[in-house]
């Protein structure tokens, strides 16, 4: 049985206001099963990784992001695919979080989904994210996978996810993620 009070941090790979990925992440806050709550991280003020800056002391937005990841029971990443891979703001946040000491992805349960304008729904970004996070010892949920293709037809003008099939896919992903977090805690 799932434990109550699981805090999940949503992380969006797109910074744009009308992002489909952010809209889907917001829908996940409504669709989360009992025992799971979702808050969404801000990546827009995180500077580009620079070892010189790191050596002088991590900037406040980086400290905030790392603390949020460290405190979360799990990460839910929603991202578009940029040029067949991970968008820079998301990769940059992961790079900041990955630095020792206390790299924040160690043993962290992670679920990933993607939304894109094209028919594949950003499939390729998911496999690159898995590759990156697994080598950081993140525990990435194997299945279900959710690819939101042809995204513009699945949201209304206010950015609400209106496609019922996609809502069901995300609900199933969140249910699976809840069980995965509990299972990984037992390891
Ligand atoms: C720099 C850039 C590269 C992109 N590359 C891809 C791509 O490789 N595959 C894809 O399906 N869509 C690609 N797109 C289109 C995105 O799927 C589309 O912009 C999507 O709406 C972005 O997600 P968002 O709505 O969450 O911002 C790209 C968009 C940008 C801006």
* Residue 151 alpha carbon, nearest atom of ligand 1: 21
pLDDT band with cut points at 50, 70 and 90 for residue 2: very low
Summarised one tens digit per residue, pLDDT across range 109-121 is: 999 999 999 999 9
Whether the ω angle into residue 12 lies within 30 degrees of 0, i.e. cis, is no
36: CA distance to ligand 1 center in Å? 29
pLDDT at 3: 54
Residue nearest to atom 2 of ligand 1 (CA): 82
Whether 94 shows a pLDDT value over 60: the answer reads: yes
Give the mutation target among 116, 119, 128, 148 for probing the ligand 1 site: most ligand atoms within 8 A of CB: 116
pLDDT band with cut points at 50, 70 and 90 for residue 4: low
Does the pTM of the predicted model rise above 0.95? yes
pLDDT at 27: 98
Question: What's the whole-number mean pLDDT along residues 52-78?
Answer: 98
For residues 18 and 140, what is the distance between their CA atoms, to the nearest angstrom? Answer: 27
pLDDT band with cut points at 50, 70 and 90 for residue 139: very high
For residues 74 and 53, what is the distance between their CA atoms, to the nearest angstrom? Answer: 28
185: CA distance to ligand 1 center in Å? 34
pLDDT at 185: 87
Give the mutation target among 27, 113, 117 for probing the ligand 1 site: most ligand atoms within 8 A of CB: 117
For residues 136 and 148, what is the distance between their CA atoms, to the nearest angstrom? Answer: 26
For residues 68 and 80, what is the distance between their CA atoms, to the nearest angstrom? Answer: 22
pLDDT band with cut points at 50, 70 and 90 for residue 43: very high
pLDDT band with cut points at 50, 70 and 90 for residue 9: very high
pLDDT at 32: 98
pLDDT band with cut points at 50, 70 and 90 for residue 186: confident
Inter-CA distances, 32 with 12, 66, 74, 168, Å:
17, 23, 13, 11
* Residue 18 alpha carbon, nearest atom of ligand 1: 25
Give the mutation target among 82, 83, 148 for probing the ligand 1 site: most ligand atoms within 8 A of CB: 82
Separation of CA 31 from chain center? 15
* Residue 85 alpha carbon, nearest atom of ligand 1: 8
């Amino acid at each position: 049985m799932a434990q109550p009070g699981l805090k999940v941090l949503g992380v969006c790979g797109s910074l744009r206001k009308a992002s489909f990925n952010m809209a889907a992440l917001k829908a996940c806050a409504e669709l989360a099963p009992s025992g799971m709550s979702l808050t969404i991280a801000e990546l827009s003020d995180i500077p580009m990784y620079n070892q010189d800056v790191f050596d002088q002391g991590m900037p406040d937005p980086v400290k905030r992001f790392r603390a949020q990841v460290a405190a979360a029971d799990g990460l839910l990443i929603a991202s578009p695919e940029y040029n067949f891979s991970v968008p820079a703001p998301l990769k940059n946040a992961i790079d900041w979080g990955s630095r020792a000491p206390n790299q924040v992805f160690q043993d962290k349960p992670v679920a990933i989904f993607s939304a894109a304008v094209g028919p594949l729904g950003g499939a390729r970004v998911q496999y690159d994210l898995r590759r990156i996070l697994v080598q950081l010892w993140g525990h990435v949920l194997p299945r279900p996978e959710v690819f939101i293709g042809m995204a513009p037809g699945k949201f209304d003008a206010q950015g609400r996810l209106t496609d019922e099939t996609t809502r069901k896919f995300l609900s199933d992903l969140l249910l699976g993620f809840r069980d995965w977090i509990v299972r990984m805690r037992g390891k």
